[in-house]
A and B are shown apart, each in its own frame.
Chain A
């Protein structure tokens, strides 16, 4: 039994049905615990006051916005190499979720930036890269919607995802060249020196775990929906022929 067998849609469906409520339950638990802990049981930051607490939404959303694209890239590669339909559908399912996480990160960043930097938006490298990432998501989703034949759509969007990844990374470093930023550096690098204090760190970790689980749950749910939608289409096509 290899992991590739989970690409069988039938197996995938039967395997994800019991997992899904657990994934949603755990995701809800972690997000609620992380946010409540972060919002109500951590001290205010010495300089930023209570606005620092938006970090519990901002950082996990931003993290998942990027990881969703990475997951789409991996799923696209699997589709191109091994042509597992579930993989292509999972990439399709992940895109709107990633898009929403990108939006959350942009909005919470704006709300955070207003009191801190005095502006909702600045053409800072990190902010700009996220806006570009948002455009990449839009293009990817639009291409999926535009093509009728599902296999062609899966093929074309995977190539777009791969080429887009290269250009997304290029843009990321190009904007660094273009403007110096207001945004702070890494908060969560493994190098402990520059990390935030443990008081903020643990609720943030819980919140991140919650967002990861939420992403997994949403992608599983959406993939199941896609599989069902495709089954319905197949049945309709058969009914029309009969």
Chain B
């Protein structure tokens, strides 16, 4: 499992593009928003939690189709399926690798981008925590979506259509936690519920992902 994780990480770093691309996308979305809504600081700081969450969600979405597509094309996915490692475990590792290459950098970069949107100072800690807890769920749900569309030639657009509705609860709780933090309310409820979604996703979705992969490899 660790070998698989290291292999995926190495591939992501060396193939180029995948690693930094999500971050650059995140940056550009956040930069575009003030152009769209105007530069008033009050308005920006009010919508900052939502913008940061939506932008990181889209950035995570961007690299989803790479999770299985390359492995499917060169046949290593079939090898993985026949290896002694259960496919469920492989699916979870894939999600973890995706998180380390996109979710984690996004989380670390988000506070810096919070300055651009003049996020309320009290909210930074909650932004960091909520992204840290929430982005693994995004990766795991996305891995499931990527497994669904792996056999399709032009699955990218379909993948976003399938995955985005599944992202709704995570987004709601994540953005709500940051918003409550910014307003000085107690964000623990939202954080707990989001942690529940993440835990539930990692508990159940690897099985669904593995089942879907087996169907696609049939």
Is there a chain B Cβ closer than 8 Å to A147's Cβ?
yes
Is there a chain A Cβ closer than 8 Å to B208's Cβ?
yes
Q: Are A164 and B215 in contact (CB under 8 A)?
A: no
Known: A152-B216, A155-B215, A159-B148. A143 touches B168 (CB 8 A): no
Known: A152-B216, A156-B148, A177-B193. A142 touches B169 (CB 8 A): no
Contacting residues of chain A (145-167) with chain B, CB-CB under 8 angstroms: 146-147, 152, 155-156, 159-160, 162-164, 166-167
Q: Are B148 and A160 in contact (CB under 8 A)?
A: yes
Is there a chain B Cβ closer than 8 Å to A139's Cβ?
yes
A-B contact count (CB 8 A): 76
Q: Which residues of B contact A163 (CB under 8 A)?
A: 144, 166, 205, 208
Most chain A beta-carbon contacts within 10 A, residue among B172, B189, B193:
B172
Partner of B162, one of A143, A155, A168, A177: A143
Q: Which residues of A contact B155 (CB under 8 A)?
A: 146
Q: Are A142 and B168 in contact (CB under 8 A)?
A: no
Question: Whole-angstrom distance between the alpha carbons of A18 and B190 in the complex?
Answer: 54
Q: Which residues of B contact A116 (CB under 8 A)?
A: none
The majority secondary structure among interface residues of chain A is helix
Known: A139-B161, A160-B162, A164-B165. A147 touches B151 (CB 8 A): yes
Q: Are A167 and B193 in contact (CB under 8 A)?
A: no
User: How many whole Å from A16's CB to the nearest CB in chain B?
Assistant: 29
Question: Whole-angstrom distance between the alpha carbons of A166 and B208 in the complex?
Answer: 12
Q: Which residues of A contact B172 (CB under 8 A)?
A: 171, 174-175, 177-178
Known: A143-B158, A152-B216, A156-B215. A174 touches B169 (CB 8 A): yes
Q: Are A167 and B165 in contact (CB under 8 A)?
A: yes
Question: Whole-angstrom distance between the alpha carbons of A129 and B63 in the complex?
Answer: 27
Q: Which residues of A contact B166 (CB under 8 A)?
A: 163-164, 167
A105-113, A130-138, A234-242: which one contacts chain B? A130-138
Is there a chain B Cβ closer than 8 Å to A170's Cβ?
yes
Binary A-proximity of B181-205 (CB < 8 A = 1, otherwise 0):
0000000011001000100000011
Q: Are A138 and B161 in contact (CB under 8 A)?
A: yes
Is there a chain A Cβ closer than 8 Å to B99's Cβ?
no
Q: Which residues of B contact A167 (CB under 8 A)?
A: 141, 165-166, 168-169
Is there a chain A Cβ closer than 8 Å to B14's Cβ?
no
Q: Which residues of B contact A132 (CB under 8 A)?
A: 165, 168
Q: Which residues of B contact A156 (CB under 8 A)?
A: 148, 212, 215-216
Question: Whole-angstrom distance between the alpha carbons of A177 and B177 in the complex?
Answer: 11
Is there a chain A Cβ closer than 8 Å to B211's Cβ?
yes
Most chain B beta-carbon contacts within 10 A, residue among A162, A164, A178:
A178
Most chain A beta-carbon contacts within 10 A, residue among B144, B162, B216:
B162
User: How many whole Å from A200's CB to the nearest CB in chain B?
Assistant: 34
Question: Whole-angstrom distance between the alpha carbons of A142 and B105 in the complex?
Answer: 32
| 8 nearest A-B pairs in the assembled complex, by CB-CB distance | A174-B169, A135-B165, A170-B169, A174-B172, A155-B215, A139-B162, A171-B168, A167-B166
| Residues of chain A at the chain B interface (Cβ within 8 Å) | 132, 135-136, 138-139, 142-143, 146-147, 152, 155-156, 159-160, 162-164, 166-168, 170-171, 174-175, 177-178
Further pairs besides A135-B164, A167-B141, A178-B172: 14, Cβ < 8 Å: A143-B149, A143-B158, A146-B158, A147-B152, A159-B208, A163-B144, A163-B208, A164-B166, A167-B168, A170-B169, A170-B197, A175-B168, A177-B176, A177-B193
22 A-B residue pairs with CB within 8 Å: A135-B165, A139-B158, A142-B158, A142-B161, A142-B162, A146-B155, A146-B158, A159-B148, A159-B208, A159-B215, A160-B162, A163-B205, A164-B166, A167-B169, A168-B165, A170-B197, A171-B168, A171-B169, A174-B169, A177-B189, A177-B190, A178-B172
